[in-house]
A and B are shown apart, each in its own frame.
Chain A
């Protein structure tokens, strides 16, 4: 039994300057549910892995807003007797499991996971575990980013995109079976981002008690050679991961990598000696997707039909840290062409 991909969806922003991270995530999630023929109310968990938003909101988790937008586990009011709720312990369990009207139905638990370009794989790993434990029956991973409001055009390191993935648990040997993650902190300075307070020119001393004395400005620094170093780290991590699960690079039928930057993919492919026909290339409009990258790679693999044919697919993502995340999707019964 394993974690099965019920549906995967990734879409690029439509070029509108008004595109919001929330809007992109909402749209991707809705399309993903439609593709799967499932209702948002069916999911027990929603993890948002998007990093860059138009407003850099600190709380609540964006996942909660997405949950509300798409209508996952909307509030439905139940009428009940007023006064004491006199049910405890086994009495409560008995009513719950024995026809209390909602047996088996859980609410939806939503939160954000922040692990840069590797977040989607981390979220898949968490939901796979909870599916295996039987804690959830259907989980969603959503992602989205919009270009942070940076003044330096050279710092435009991503293109707006949103993605969504629905995960379920099925009998049979297929599914996500192994996960790995590795960090290379010696490269932690190659990509940094964060908010820095900038006081508006002309404001001196104690600012007046009103808005607009400055702004918390997003500063993103990407140093030369970033993608090449990511590829080196990814190769090392992939080889160690495959050794751990008893596989060789040659055993991988399909590599679904992110980011899709040629400086990363071409170098990684060359170092691993993976032929081009074994790589799921993300389409051009999603090539600069950020946290949606791994989801876009999976979508490319699925749309091409090669995910269904591959016995062993390696989903690989690399990002700031440097961090490399890996997941193995196995289908022992697949029949490669």
Chain B
């Protein structure tokens, strides 16, 4: 009996790449809006009687949503400031700042185009000397930013950089709530979204330390499985997702790439202490990791889920989850963490690193 799998490979950089420096995660910051929206409240506001048991399907009990005066820019800036508060660096140390938000609401713009959001963030936090640009890579945006900065740092071109994202994306939920009729709607995934900002500072480290492996690939044959456009129903966008097919791809095509990454790191899946996957649905994540375990014959020690509290915060999910586990002192020095991004595109990306002094910024006692 045979099975088929794609031959996609990761575009990958590792500690063994031969560059003169390593790159480590120095700090992670978040900005969560204070306002909470429960799944029950959201579903009570749908225009149609949908009979969708969203909380049971996804594991999402509530999510944070912006209040007056909050938008992508304020969330990104708040997260950047929180990140600096946990860092040994000053804003003036940041040599490159990358904004990775899908949503870029600022001022009266529902989606700001130019100047770049990164320019406004760097000005707001005082990183005035930093080179800056925005990237757009759906929910994989922040990890894409880390991939880019990692190479600049490993080559010695810069020594410190920040990736930031502010996602005011709950407008997709409200736009979907007005149209969705059943569990088969392509807008179902829009109901899982929550707002959040996240930021991460990466810095130079001795060669052979820091991020062990970071890699990405784009499964472009699936590029149309999830599409988002400006809405004609309300401010912001609407998103259409073929969730079931996306889930199949996540299992079938992601698995060989995970094997490739852990192989490059010279470890087994069972050597991963914390696997932090993109937060979509608890049921989908459990099914996918269960399949990984079955096929690889190994399991990570913990699979991180924070959907119950925050929902899917799009490009920020990995770092919101990492921040939570650092703050709660669950992740400790020496733990090996695997971040696993899955995004429209289909983008699959991963980073493997061993936690070091990162925990110091979160009050950990040694």
Interface residues of A (CB under 8 A from B): 44-46, 51-52, 55-61, 63-65, 67-68, 72-93, 96, 102, 105-116, 118-119, 122, 126, 129-130, 132-136, 181, 183, 185, 188, 191-197, 207, 209-216, 218-219, 319-321, 323
Task: Please tell me if B131 contacts chain A, counting CB pairs below 8 Å.
Answer: yes
- Chain A nearest CB, measured from B155 CB (Å): 6
Residue of A with least CB distance to B218: A110
Residues of A within 8 A of B266 (CB): 89-90, 93
Q: Given A75-B6, A81-B2, A115-B116, do A133 and B13 touch, yes or no (CB 8 Å)?
A: yes
Q: Given A77-B6, A112-B137, do A192 and B114 touch, yes or no (CB 8 Å)?
A: yes
Complex partner residue of B344 from A59, A85, A91, A185, CB under 8 angstroms: A59
Task: Please tell me if B28 contacts chain A, counting CB pairs below 8 Å.
Answer: no
Per-position 1/0 for B36-58, Cβ under 8 A of A: 00000000000110000000000
Residues of B within 8 A of A215 (CB): 230, 232
Complex partner residue of A194 from B2, B112, B123, B221, CB under 8 angstroms: B112
Residues of A within 8 A of B131 (CB): 181
Residues of B within 8 A of A59 (CB): 102, 136, 138-139, 226-228, 239, 343-345
A56 and B230 contacting across the interface, CB-CB below 8 Å: yes
Complex partner residue of B9 from A63, A105, A113, A188, CB under 8 angstroms: A105
Given contacts A59-B136, A113-B134, list 4 more A-B pairs with CB under 8 A: A59-B138, A110-B345, A185-B123, A321-B116
A58 and B267 contacting across the interface, CB-CB below 8 Å: no
- Chain A nearest CB, measured from B71 CB (Å): 12
Task: Please tell me if B132 contacts chain A, counting CB pairs below 8 Å.
Answer: yes
CB contacts under 8 Å to A, within B175-227, are 178-179, 216-221, 223-224, 226-227
Q: Given A60-B227, A214-B234, do A82 and B151 touch, yes or no (CB 8 Å)?
A: no
Q: Given A60-B138, A61-B136, do A83 and B110 touch, yes or no (CB 8 Å)?
A: no
B263 and A323 contacting across the interface, CB-CB below 8 Å: no
Per-position 1/0 for B1-32, Cβ under 8 A of A: 11111111111110001110000000000000
B151 and A135 contacting across the interface, CB-CB below 8 Å: yes
Complex partner residue of A112 from B12, B136, B294, CB under 8 angstroms: B136
- Chain A nearest CB, measured from B175 CB (Å): 10
Residues of B within 8 A of A133 (CB): 13, 17-19, 151, 154-155
B295 and A194 contacting across the interface, CB-CB below 8 Å: no
A209 and B155 contacting across the interface, CB-CB below 8 Å: no
Residue of B with least CB distance to A45: B11
Q: Given A75-B219, A129-B151, do A55 and B136 touch, yes or no (CB 8 Å)?
A: no
Complex partner residue of A134 from B17, B239, B346, CB under 8 angstroms: B17
Residues of B within 8 A of A83 (CB): 295
Complex partner residue of A209 from B48, B128, B224, B263, CB under 8 angstroms: B48
Task: Please tell me if B329 contacts chain A, counting CB pairs below 8 Å.
Answer: no
Task: Please tell me if B152 contacts chain A, counting CB pairs below 8 Å.
Answer: yes
Distance between Cα atoms of A75 and B294 in the complex (Å): 24
Task: Please tell me if B235 contacts chain A, counting CB pairs below 8 Å.
Answer: yes
Residues of B within 8 A of A212 (CB): 232-233
Residue of A with least CB distance to B314: A59
B133 and A111 contacting across the interface, CB-CB below 8 Å: no
B221 and A58 contacting across the interface, CB-CB below 8 Å: no
B220 and A64 contacting across the interface, CB-CB below 8 Å: yes
Residue of A with least CB distance to B172: A58
A209 and B234 contacting across the interface, CB-CB below 8 Å: no
Residues of A within 8 A of B123 (CB): 185
- Chain A nearest CB, measured from B346 CB (Å): 8
A134 and B111 contacting across the interface, CB-CB below 8 Å: no
- Chain B nearest CB, measured from A46 CB (Å): 8
B114 and A193 contacting across the interface, CB-CB below 8 Å: yes
CB contacts under 8 Å to A, within B108-164, are 108-116, 119-120, 122-123, 128, 131-140, 144, 148, 151-152, 154-155, 157
Task: Please tell me if B297 contacts chain A, counting CB pairs below 8 Å.
Answer: yes
- Chain A nearest CB, measured from B173 CB (Å): 14
Q: Given A59-B227, A64-B347, A113-B134, do A85 and B295 touch, yes or no (CB 8 Å)?
A: yes
- Chain B nearest CB, measured from A289 CB (Å): 16
Distance between Cα atoms of A85 and B221 in the complex (Å): 24
Most buried by B among A84, A96, A106: A106
Task: Please tell me if B289 contacts chain A, counting CB pairs below 8 Å.
Answer: no
A89 and B221 contacting across the interface, CB-CB below 8 Å: no
Q: Can you offer 17 A-B residue contacts whose CB atoms are under 8 A?
A: A60-B345, A64-B223, A67-B220, A75-B8, A76-B7, A81-B3, A82-B3, A84-B297, A106-B12, A107-B217, A109-B217, A113-B135, A183-B122, A193-B114, A197-B235, A210-B233, A211-B233
Task: Please tell me if B92 contacts chain A, counting CB pairs below 8 Å.
Answer: no
